[in-house]
């Protein structure tokens, strides 16, 4: 796969209203976990990471406003390219999630356009597949660029778990981190956007690029009784590395959607152990959900935003990063990113 460059990023979460403030907070391990107006089955206030928009809003309108803020941050990266020629790919929550807003898929593109005051290309689309959908959105955007149907593509992920029906379902299934359940996650909400184009041919300019994607299925899900060996994630990682034309020697750390549950940590550990042919002295595992909570469909562009900032500001463990994530069902996805110049890209 020819590399696709990240031109600009934008991010809104409980710890910041733009990419620099979010990345700085995550680097410093700052969170904004606070009591919400929701109560769990034990009568305790649910802790979450909420985006404090001003003026306050909820529901579909809040998703639209968060997405518009993240997209606006990326627009200067277009330069002279008319925004009307740029496709917008929106990653949303999986269709079957309890509490999902009705009619969101059919209205989100037009609502974002109205919020921003302009239209995007008619090649724009929506992917409704949660966390894995974020990788699919990046992959779809990369294909449009490689096939030269668009010079630039905007990918935005936006999601919230702070919906009564969603939280009730999670609490009923012991998924939330509460005083009565230590094996759970903090729910959150966020929007993150990335502007992509083909990598520039300059041998001197450094860019953060996407190099390969991988997908797989894990039969031993969180709710199944199958023996857990992380077969799905292992196959997914190997496919991503092969698609990128590299190996573990070319990646220096991992970035994942892990948000606190033991299952996810075990999966990451087993997958690394089963796919690495030689042990790395250090192989950090970064998980931004520690600071922003579980943000579902927004997680993948959030991770890419963090990795891009870490590379450009030179606090990443190295130039290469392996991203991997999982949905609650069998779906797994991974991709490879690298901070490099065009000479290395084609060398």
Indicate the SS3 state at residue 88.
strand
For the structural domain made of 4-198, what CATH number should be given? 3.40.47.10
Distance between CA atoms of residues 159 and 246, nearest Å: 32
pLDDT in tens, the chain (347 residues): 889 999 999 999 999 999 999 999 999 999 999 999 999 999 999 999 999 999 999 999 999 999 999 999 999 999 999 999 999 999 999 999 999 999 999 999 999 999 999 999 999 999 999 999 999 999 999 999 999 999 999 999 999 999 999 999 999 999 999 999 999 999 999 999 999 999 986 777 899 999 999 999 999 998 888 889 999 999 999 999 999 999 999 999 999 999 999 999 999 999 999 999 888 899 999 999 999 999 999 999 999 999 999 999 999 999 999 999 999 999 999 999 999 875 555 44
Domain with CATH 3.40.47.10 in the chain: 4-198, 207-345
Strand pairing class (253-256; 320-326): parallel
User: 96 - beta bridge partners?
Assistant: none
Do the Cβ atoms of 316 and 340 come closer than 8 Å?
Answer: no
Distance between CA atoms of residues 240 and 64, nearest Å: 32
CATH superfamily of 207-345: Thiolase/Chalcone synthase (3.40.47.10)
Do the Cβ atoms of 171 and 41 come closer than 8 Å?
Answer: yes
Q: What is the pLDDT of residue 228?
A: 93
Question: pTM of the predicted model, to two decimals?
Answer: 0.96
* 8-state DSSP, 101: P
* 8-state DSSP, 78: G
Picking from 188, 157, 169, the residue whose alpha carbon sits closest to that of residue 96 is 169
Please name the residues in contact with 217: beta carbons below 8 A apart, sequence gap of 6 or more.
Answer: 232, 330, 331, 332
Distance between CA atoms of residues 289 and 33, nearest Å: 11
Do the Cβ atoms of 247 and 268 come closer than 8 Å?
Answer: no
């Amino acid at each position: 796969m020819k590399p696709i460059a990240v031109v600009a990023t934008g991010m809104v979460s409980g710890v910041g209203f733009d990419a620099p403030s979010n990345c700085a907070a995550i680097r410093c391990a700052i969170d904004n976990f606070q009591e919400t107006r929701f109560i769990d089955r034990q009568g305790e206030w649910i802790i979450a990471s909420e985006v404090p928009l001003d003026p306050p809003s909820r529901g579909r309108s809040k998703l639209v406003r968060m997405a518009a803020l993240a997209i606006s941050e990326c627009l200067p990266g277009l330069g002279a390219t008319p925004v009307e020629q740029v496709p917008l790919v929106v990653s949303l929550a999986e269709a079957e999630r309890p509490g999902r807003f009705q009619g969101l898929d059919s209205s989100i593109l037009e609502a974002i356009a109205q919020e921003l005051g302009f239209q995007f290309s008619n090649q724009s689309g929506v992917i409704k597949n949660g966390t894995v959908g974020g990788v699919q959105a990046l992959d779809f955007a990369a294909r449009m660029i490689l096939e030269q149907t668009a010079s630039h593509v905007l990918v935005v992920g936006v999601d919230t778990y702070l919906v009564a029906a969603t939280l009730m379902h999670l609490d009923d299934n012991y998924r939330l981190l509460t005083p009565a359940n230590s094996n759970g996650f903090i729910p959150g909400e966020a929007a993150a956007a990335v502007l992509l184009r083909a990598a520039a041919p300059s041998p001197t300019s450094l860019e953060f690029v996407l190099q390969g994607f991988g997908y797989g299925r894990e039969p031993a899900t969180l709710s199944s009784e199958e023996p857990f060996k992380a077969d799905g994630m292992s196959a997914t990682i190997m496919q991503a590395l092969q698609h990128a034309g590299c190996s573990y020697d070319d990646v220096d750390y991992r970035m994942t959607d892990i948000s606190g549950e033991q299952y996810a940590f075990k999966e990451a550990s087993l997958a690394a152990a089963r796919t690495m042919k030689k042990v790395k002295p250090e192989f950090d595992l970064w998980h931004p959900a520690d600071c922003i909570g579980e943000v579902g469909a927004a997680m993948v562009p959030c991770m890419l935003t963090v990795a891009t900032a870490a590379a450009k500001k030179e606090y990443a463990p190295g130039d290469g990063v392996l991203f991997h994530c999982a949905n609650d069902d069998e779906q797994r996805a991974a991709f490879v990113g690298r901070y490099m110049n065009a000479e290395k890209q084609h060398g």
